[in-house]
Amino acid sequence: MSGRGSAMVDPDVLAKASVWTARLWADDVTEQDRAACRAWCEAHPDHARAWSIVHDVGQQISALSKAGARATLLDRRVSDPVRRRALKALGALLTVGLGGHAVSRTGPWQRRVADHATRIGEIRALSLPDGGRVVLDSATALDIVYTGDERRLRLRTGRISVVTAPDPMAPARAFCVETVHGTALALGTEFSVHHLDNSTEVVVQHGKVELRPQHAVSAAVRLIAGQRAGFTQEHVDDIRTAAPGAEVWTRGLLVANDLRLSEFVTTVSRYRVGVLRCDERVEELRVTGVFPLQDTDRALANLTLGIPVDIAYRSSWWVTVVPRPSAGT
């Protein structure tokens, strides 16, 4: 691959370009996806450069089609385990081609190779082998790994809410959720785990959870009901009180209580395909109310009823929350 411009493009932008590549290679890609990708490329010169770099690698990858690999990726008749193995191999090639920068640890690639995954805007409940329950949030990827020694959920990206059940096996196996940052060990509990780019956040509703960063040298940190904390691979952040209504997302709702508008937009954007942004002139406005996460157009329309903003649709794939014009202007 030619290295032209790669040193001048932020790795996060390269990662986004690889995400768009993955989306356009998906078997359910739509014309709207292609239009949204074009809009992203046109939004900034760095986006176009990143796309060019990723495209160069894509030309190398396209040779896989001669061996039938690309057909394997896109053919629904091929068994899921075979398709996942092919996608993992393709992801590895893309990572090597971009010097390890472009394929994010979160996002579409993770959802394509996981045991269970949700699309953007989808919220899905699953029963666990031991009778427990897990709810997958929008754009979440999860592996369920039960062995004779432990019960493990591997959260690749996104957010889950877990209600554990007594282990039918004796002696009882440990139950934990793993991310790249470490593990959350459940001690008879109901809790949620959110895999963010640079950390993992855990909120406990009932029972207790022990946080164990991957590389921490200190003892595990225990959370009790009503507490929340984030952790990286090295340490656990300060323990805080969980916000009221933190788990209503499992019912497709967002409860905002004096929430900064910029944070509201960031949250809603996780449930919407395309770009949703907040004009900096209104990002400090405060939002209070209950909003539907699985109908983001209605959530945005409801937003305008409570604060002085309008919703500017460049297209359904490019939306901005902007100040409402003053009367007479």
Who has greater pLDDT, 10 or 184?
Answer: 184
User: What confidence tens digit (pLDDT) does each residue in 240-286 have?
Assistant: 999 888 889 999 999 998 999 999 999 999 999 889 999 999 999 99
Q: State residue 24's pLDDT score.
A: 74
Q: State residue 199's pLDDT score.
A: 95
Confidence category of residue 3, pLDDT binned at 50, 70, 90: very low
3-state secondary structure string across the chain: CCCCCHHHCCHHHHHHHHHHHHHHHCCCCCHHHHHHHHHHHHHCHHHHHHHHHHHHHHHHHHHHHHHCHHHHHHCCCCCHHHHHHHHHHHHHHHHHHCCCCCCCCCCHHHHHHCCEECCCCCCEEEECCCCCEEEECCCCEEEEEECCCEEEEEEEEEEEEEECCCCCCCCCCEEEEEECCEEEEEEEEEEEEEECCCCEEEEEEEEEEEEEECCCCCCCEEEECCEEEEECCCCECCCEECCCCCCHHHHCEEEEEEEEHHHHHHHHHCCCCCEEEECCCCCCCEEEEEEECCCHHHHHHHHHHHCCEEEEEEECCEEEEEECCCCCC
User: What confidence tens digit (pLDDT) does each residue in 272-326 have?
Assistant: 988 999 999 999 999 999 999 999 999 999 999 999 999 999 988 899 999 999 7
| pTM greater than 0.85 (yes/no) | no
Q: State residue 213's pLDDT score.
A: 95
Start-to-end CA span in the chain (Å): 53
Domains and CATH numbers, the chain: 6-104 (no CATH), 116-241 (2.60.120.1440), 252-323 (3.55.50.30)
Q: Which residues of 145-169 are buried (b: 16+ CB within 10 A; e: fewer)?
A: ebeeeebbbbbbbbbbbbbbbebee
The C-alpha atoms of residue 186 and residue 182 are separated, in whole angstroms, by: 13
Q: State residue 326's pLDDT score.
A: 78
Of 106-110, 144-148, 176-180, the poorest mean pLDDT is in 106-110
- Residue 175: pLDDT over 50: yes
Who has greater pLDDT, 248 or 89?
Answer: 248
- Residue 117: pLDDT over 80: yes
* Phi and psi torsions of 221, nearest 5°: -105, 130
- Residue 232: pLDDT over 50: yes
The C-alpha atoms of residue 278 and residue 264 are separated, in whole angstroms, by: 9
Q: Are 77 and 67 in contact (CB under 8 A)?
A: no
Residues 6+ apart with CB under 8 A from 158: 106, 111, 118, 136, 137, 138, 139, 140, 141, 142, 194, 195
The C-alpha atoms of residue 234 and residue 76 are separated, in whole angstroms, by: 41
Who has greater pLDDT, 69 or 304?
Answer: 304
Who has greater pLDDT, 29 or 174?
Answer: 174
